[in-house]
Structure 1
Amino acid sequence: MAIDPSFPIKITAFEWVPEFAQGQVRDLRVRWALEEVGQRYEVQYLALGEHKQPPHRARHPFGQVPTYQDNEVTLFESGSIVLHIAERFGGLLPDDRAARARAIQWMFAALNTIEPPLMDYSIVTLFEAGKPWSEPRRPAVEARIHERLGELSQRLGDRQWLDGDGFTAGDLLMVTVLRIVEGKGLVERYDNLAAYMARGIARPGFKKALADQLSGFAQTPPPEASAWMEKQQQGE
């Protein structure tokens, strides 16, 4: 999306990632939030390794993406960025004070309660799949996932969204978190959660954000990609 000269917003994203990561990098959450609130933005793409260099670390001390810059603030961490967007622009947080607090509560629940076991699944099945400890850990990881997803399913019940009929920033983050294991038979075990996730990814804002993220990736890996991938697999 082209930058809006009247209110410049810039985010950072990776120029290239392996195919399995495309559509999952966390700048997608920020792009979706900006689409939902109708704000244009510019993307600064980082070449492989550039995210660990001093210019980017000045924006993000841990050398990751995304970051967000507007005419007031520079932020890192996708959750904090989505909260900033939701608070600054209308559409992702209710006006009612109590409902607003509940929506923010669900943002924290998505990132702090649901995401960690789902990321553990990615570690044992993908990032460390070849390690001798990964397969023995998998049953315990899946048990933790189903404990959390079962609790989430029970709470969601037959609601359209987490706090009723209105889509909020809490739903935005929860849907992106559930997508970490989309198609793995985990979320799909719970009919209401599968339907909930499907409602989220059917929103026009999500579709536009995903299409823009995917179209921004370089399709040809850079020359140093093989060495970088090997280091990642070794945990370096």
Structure 2
Amino acid sequence: MITVSAYRWVPEFAQGLVKDLRVRWALEEAGLPYREHLLEAGEKDAAAYRALQPFGQVPALRTEGLSLFESGAIVLHIAQQCEALMPHDAAGRARTTSWVFAALNSIEPAVDALGDTEGDEAWAVARRPAALAKVQMRLDQLQAWLGDKDYLEGRFTAGDLMMTTVLRNLRQTDIVADRPRLSAYVARCQARPAFGTALADHMRPFEATAA
């Protein structure tokens, strides 16, 4: 049985954004059953967990013969076993891999840098215009590539899964909403039944803790 680590609780602003959601979504798309391992307070720093995830983060994935960390690596591993996430042909597999890396290397750092400028500190206010300009440039480039296509490569792949989870980090802004094709793309990806199931399972521990 596949086991995926996740946090039992995170602050409200992070709920729906923690990266175990990526892995849950990929497993749902692949039709692979799994169980969750919810980390208790302090467990992420324990030696047993650091043996699975050297940096004490989530997610980590375990099966009988393999343990993996880093959400991008885990999603690619799942995708390689599932045509719903990665085409069988060599070119399609390579293009899917490229888009997973693009989400993580070309888009996410800019999104994270903008998030780092939230707040009223002088340094944050000073950096925000440049950080915002960088995100807007990247999303304009992404929207230009998307054009009239439903998905980045014409059909849904792990690249779309990863890109959507990165763009969700802008949900408290109008940056995606101001780009109609990109906004429709994110909505289309989030309308997939596998995403709805994954999000509900991701949120359940937080809702239970709140109750």
TM-score by length of 1: 0.86
Assess if the C-alpha contact under 8 Å between 1:92 and 1:169 holds in 2. yes
In the aligned structure 1, how far is the partner of 2:188 from the partner of 2:34? 25
Which residue is 2:69 aligned to? Answer: 76
Among 181, 188, 195, which residue is 2:184 paired with? 195
The equivalences for 1:138-177 within 5 A come to: 138-164=128-154, 166-177=155-166
SS in 2 for 1:31: helix
Which residue is 1:208 aligned to? Answer: 197
SS in 2 for 1:65: coil
Which residue is 1:91 aligned to? Answer: 84
Among 29, 54, 58, which residue is 2:22 paired with? 29
- Is residue 122 from structure 1 mapped to residue 112 from structure 2 by the alignment? no
In the aligned structure 1, how far is the partner of 2:26 from the partner of 2:141? 26
Q: Offset at 1:220?
A: 4.1
SS in 1 for 2:117: helix
Per-residue CA deviation, residues 18-51 of structure 1 (Å, 9 max, x unaligned), is 0111100000000000000001101010023211
Structure 1, gaps ≥5 residues long: 1-7, 222-236
The number of residue pairs the alignment matches comes to 210
Per-residue CA deviation, residues 184-220 of structure 1 (Å, 9 max, x unaligned), is 0111121110000000111000000000110122534
- Is residue 137 from structure 1 mapped to residue 130 from structure 2 by the alignment? no
The amino acid of 1:180's aligned partner reads N
Assess if the C-alpha contact under 8 Å between 1:146 and 1:186 holds in 2. yes
Structure 2, gaps ≥5 residues long: none
Distance verdict in 2 for CA 1:113–1:58, change over 3 Å: same
Identity %: 49
